[in-house]
Amino acid sequence: MFIGGGLAISAAGAWAGCATTQSSEGGFIQTVTGPIRPDELGRALIHEHVAVDFIGAAKTSPARYDADLAFRTALPHFMKLRERGVQSLVECTPRYIGRNTAVLRRLSVSSGVKIITNTGWYAAVDHKYLPTEASAETADQIANRWLAEWKIGIEATSGETAPIRPGFLKLGTGGGRLPQIDSKLVAAAARVHRKTGLTIAIHTGDGAAALDELRLLREEGVAPEALIWVHAMNDPGPIQIEAARMGAWISLDGYSQAPHNVIRFPKFLEAHRSAGTLGRVLLSHDDGWAVDGNEPAGNRLTLFGNGNPAPYESIFTRLIPDLRSKGFVESDFDLLMVRNPREALTVRKRLIPT
Ligand SMILES: [Zn+2]
- The pLDDT > 70 percentage for the chain reads 89
- 160 alpha carbon to ligand 1 midpoint, in Å? 30
What 3-state DSSP class applies to 19?
A: coil
Rounded to 10 deg, the angle between the 207-219 and 180-196 helix axes is 50
- CA of residue 87 to ligand 1 center, whole Å: 19
- Please give the distance, rounded to the nearest whole angstrom, from the Cα atom of residue 47 to the centre of ligand 1: 6
Residue 12 has what pLDDT? 37
Whole-angstrom distance, CA of residue 162 vs CA of residue 204? 33
Distance 284 CA to ligand 1 centre (A): 10
**Spacing, Cα 264 to ligand 1 middle (Å):** 18
Could you tell me the pLDDT band of residue 243, with boundaries at 50, 70 and 90? very high
* pLDDT bucket at 157, cuts 50 / 70 / 90: low
Question: How remote is the CA of residue 226 from the centroid of ligand 1, in Å?
Answer: 19
How many other CB atoms are there within 10 angstroms of residue 219's CB atom?
13
Task: Give CA–CA dist 116/129, Å, rounded.
Answer: 21
Which are the contacts of 325, defined by CB distance < 8 A and separation ≥ 6?
none
pLDDT band at 259 (very low <50, low <70, confident <90, very high): confident
Where helices occur in 84-138 by DSSP H, the ranges are 101-111, 133-136
Q: What is the dihedral of CA 178, 179, 182, 184, to 10 degrees?
A: 110
Q: What share of the chain is helix, strand, coil (3-state, %, to 5)?
A: 45, 15, 40
Q: Are 153 and 165 in contact (CB under 8 A)?
A: yes
Residue 331 Cα, ligand 1 centroid: separation in angstroms?
A: 27
Q: Identify whether the C-beta of residue 171 lies closer than 8 Å to the C-beta of residue 122.
A: yes
Give yes or no for a contact between 209 and 174, defined as CB atoms under 8 angstroms apart.
yes
Predicted pLDDT at 76: 98
Q: Is 5 helix (H, G, I), strand (E, B) or coil?
A: helix
In this predicted structure, what is the pLDDT of residue 257?
A: 81
- The protein residues having their C-beta less than 5 angstroms from ligand 1 (an ion) are 92, 286
In this predicted structure, what is the pLDDT of residue 292? 79
Q: Which amino acid is at 234?
A: N
pLDDT band at 20 (very low <50, low <70, confident <90, very high): very low
Expressed in angstroms and rounded, the spacing between residue 13 Cα and the centre of ligand 1 is 30
Beta bridge partners of 122: 172
Say what the pLDDT of residue 296 is: 59
For ligand 1, the distance from its centroid to the CA atom of residue 353, given in whole angstroms, is: 32
Half-sphere exposure of 89 (CA within 13 A, CB side): 31
The phi and psi torsions of 131 (rounded to 5 degrees) equal: -75, 165
Asked if residue 49 lies in contact with residue 94, where contact means CB atoms within 8 angstroms, the answer is no
Residue 193 CA to ligand 1 center (angstroms) comes to: 21
Ligand 1 centroid from CA 304, angstroms: 10
Ligand 1 centre distance from Cα of residue 70 (Å): 17
**pLDDT for 4:** 33
In contact, 192 and 198? CB cutoff 8 Å: yes
Per-residue pLDDT of 277-323, as tens digits, reads: 999 999 999 999 998 766 655 578 889 877 788 999 999 999 999 99
Look at residues 276, 266, 284, 208 and name the one whose alpha carbon lies nearest to residue 241.
276
Output the average pLDDT for the chain: 90
Per residue in 40-91, pLDDT (tens digit) is: 999 999 999 999 999 999 998 888 888 999 999 999 999 999 999 999 999 9
Strands (E), 190-323: 200-203, 227-230, 249-252, 281-283, 289-291, 301-303
Q: Which distant-in-sequence residues (6+ apart) come within 8 Å of 148 by Cβ?
A: none
